[in-house]
C-alpha cells in the first residue's frame, strides 16, 4: 500500500514538472512521466535542456526504487504465504502423528461443541474433525486441536491417528455418516471404542449392528433427563455434579481389573480393603459377561476382566488407580488433578 502511494506521488510530481516547468500539455506531461517511470526506452516527447534531463534521471531512479519495492513486497507476500502454509501443514502433520490414546470427535456442531467442552474439562487429549472450515476455525479459536476433512473417509481417520486412538465419537447430524464413521473406525482399529449419535430408533439399531459400542439419541436421552428432573431433581443434580463440569469435588471413574497386574483379583472386596486404603467408594462392578452388580457387598468377589465403577475425590481415585495396577492408567483415564 505504501509503495503504491509513493509511486502515485512520483507520478504526480513528474507530471507537474513537465507541465509547469517544461511547459508541455497535460497529455504530453503524463505520457512522458509514464514512459519514464516504466523505463521503456522511448524518446523524449519534446526537446529538453540539461535541467529537464537531470530531472528525468531523478524520476527514473525514483520510479525504479518504488517499482522494485512494490515487486519485492508482492513477491515476499506470495513466498511467505506459501511457506507459512507449508510450515502450518507440517506442524499439523507432526501433531497428528504424536497423538496417542486420544479421543476423536467427528463433527463440531452443537453436540460436538458440548462434547469438546466436557473433554477439555476432564483434561483428556482429543482432536476434532469437521469438513467445514468455519467449524474448524471456531474449534481452533477455542484452543482445540482440529483437522478439516471428511470423517467418513479412511484417509481422514488415518491422518488423525485412528489406529492409536482410544475412542471415537460420531456426532454428525446425519445417521448415515455416523454409521460410515463407525464402520471405518472399527475396521481401522478393532479395539477402539465407538460412540455414535442417532436421530431415530431405526438408526440406533443399525448403528448398534454396525459395531457402535454405545449409541446415544439426543431426543431419548433428553426426554429421560427431563423426566428425571421432574421426578427426582436432587438425584439428577447430584449425578450431574459428579459426571460433568470442571469445578466438581467428587468424580466417578471406571477401572479395569487385569489378573496380570491387579493383586486383588480372586479376593473379596472386604479382603481387598479398597475403601479403607483409598477412601474411594466402589458403586458397581461390571462383569466380563456384561452382568452389572450394583452396590457390591464385602463378600463380592473381584474377577478377571471386571470393571469397577468408583466414586470419590480426584486424589482418592488416583490412589485407587494406583493400587489396582498399571492397567488402569494404560486403558482408562486417571482422574484429573483439581487443585
Q: Are 244 and 121 in contact (CB under 8 A)?
A: yes
Residue 199: C-alpha distances to residues 132, 173, 174, 179 (Å): 21, 8, 8, 12
Q: Are 6 and 66 in contact (CB under 8 A)?
A: yes
Residue 337 is predicted with a pLDDT of 43
Model confidence pLDDT, tens digit, residues 15-71:
887 787 777 787 878 878 777 777 666 667 777 777 777 877 787 788 778 877 777
- What pLDDT does residue 86 have? 60
Give the pLDDT score at 253.
85
Across the range 174-197, mean pLDDT stands at: 94
Lowest-confidence region among 24-33, 170-179, 282-291: 24-33
Strand partners, 147: 129
Contact 283, 252 (CB under 8 A): yes
273 sits in the region (left: phi over 0; alpha: psi -120 to 50; else beta) called left
Query: What's the pLDDT band for 3 if we cut at 50, 70, 90?
Result: low
Say if residue 1's pLDDT is above 70.
Answer: no
What are the tens digits of pLDDT across the range 64-111? 788 777 777 777 777 766 566 566 667 777 878 888 889 999 999 999
Examine the pLDDT at 310 and tell me if it is beyond 80: yes
Strand, coil or helix: what is 9?
helix
Residue 277's CB is within 10 A of a number of other CB atoms, namely: 13
Task: Round to whole Å and give the CA distance between 86 and 170.
Answer: 30
The pLDDT value given to residue 228? 81
Question: Are the beta carbons of 251 and 301 closer than 8 angstroms?
Answer: no
Query: 3, 66 in Cβ contact below 8 A?
Result: yes
- Supply the DSSP symbol for 145: E
- Measure Cα distances from 35 to 11, 152, 335 in Å: 11, 59, 74
CA 66-68-70 angle, 5° bins: 70
Q: Is the pLDDT reported for residue 339 higher than 50?
A: no
pLDDT value at residue 248: 67
| pLDDT for residue 334 is more than 50 | no
Cα separation of 137 and 148, whole Å? 9
Q: Which of 70-79, 150-159, 279-288 has the lowest mean pLDDT?
A: 70-79
Which three cell numbers, joined as nine digits, stand for 328? 488402569
Instruction: Look at residue 256 and give its three-state secondary structure.
Output: strand
pLDDT score, position 87: 64
Coil vs helix vs strand at 284: strand
Q: Return d(Cα 209, Cα 13) in angstroms, integer.
A: 79
List, for residues 194-249, the tens digit of each pLDDT value. Answer: 999 998 888 999 999 999 999 998 888 888 878 888 888 887 777 777 666 556 67
Is pTM, for the whole model, over 0.85? Answer: no
168 has a pLDDT exceeding 90: yes
Q: Nearest-CA neighbor of 163 among 201, 190, 194?
A: 190
Measured from the Cβ of residue 48, the count of other Cβ atoms closer than 10 Å reads 17
Amino acid at each position: 500500500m505504501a509503495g503504491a502511494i509513493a509511486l502515485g506521488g512520483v507520478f504526480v510530481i513528474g507530471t507537474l514538472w513537465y507541465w509547469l516547468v517544461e511547459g508541455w500539455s497535460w497529455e504530453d506531461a503524463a505520457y512522458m512521466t509514464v514512459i519514464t517511470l516504466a523505463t521503456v526506452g522511448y524518446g523524449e516527447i519534446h526537446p529538453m535542456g540539461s535541467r529537464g534531463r537531470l530531472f528525468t534521471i531523478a524520476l527514473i531512479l525514483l520510479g525504479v526504487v518504488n517499482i522494485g519495492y512494490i515487486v519485492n513486497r508482492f513477491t515476499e507476500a506470495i513466498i511467505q504465504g506459501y511457506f507459512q502454509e507449508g510450515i502450518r501443514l507440517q506442524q499439523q502433520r507432526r501433531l497428528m502423528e504424536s497423538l496417542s490414546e486420544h479421543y476423536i470427535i467427528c463433527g463440531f456442531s452443537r453436540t460436538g461443541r458440548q462434547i469438546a467442552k466436557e473433554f477439555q474439562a476432564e483434561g483428556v487429549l482429543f482432536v476434532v474433525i469437521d469438513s467445514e472450515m468455519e467449524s474448524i476455525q471456531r474449534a481452533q479459536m477455542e484452543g482445540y486441536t482440529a483437522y478439516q476433512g471428511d470423517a467418513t473417509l479412511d484417509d481422514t481417520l488415518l491422518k488423525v491417528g485412528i489406529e492409536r486412538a482410544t475412542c471415537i465419537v460420531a456426532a454428525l447430524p446425519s445417521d448415515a455418516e455416523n454409521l460410515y464413521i463407525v464402520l471405518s473406525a472399527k475396521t481401522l482399529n478393532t479395539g477402539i471404542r465407538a460412540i455414535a449419535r442417532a436421530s431415530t430408533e431405526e438408526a440406533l439399531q443399525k448403528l448398534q449392528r454396525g459395531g457402535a459400542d454405545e449409541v446415544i439419541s439426543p431426543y431419548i436421552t433428553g426426554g429421560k433427563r427431563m423426566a428425571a428432573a421432574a421426578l427426582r431433581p436432587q438425584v439428577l443434580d447430584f449425578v450431574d455434579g459428579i459426571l460433568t463440569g470442571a469445578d466438581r469435588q467428587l468424580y466417578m471413574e471406571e477401572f479395569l481389573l487385569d489378573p496380570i497386574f491387579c493383586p486383588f483379583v480372586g479376593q473379596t472386596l472386604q479382603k481387598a480393603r479398597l475403601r479403607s486404603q483409598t477412601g474411594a467408594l466402589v458403586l458397581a462392578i461390571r462383569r466380563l459377561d456384561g452382568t452389572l452388580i450394583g452396590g457390591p457387598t464385602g463378600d463380592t468377589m473381584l474377577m478377571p476382566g471386571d470393571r469397577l465403577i468408583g466414586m470419590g475425590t480426584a486424589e482418592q481415585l488416583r490412589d485407587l488407580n494406583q493400587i489396582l495396577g498399571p492397567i488402569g492408567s494404560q486403558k482408562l483415564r486417571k482422574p484429573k488433578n483439581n487443585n
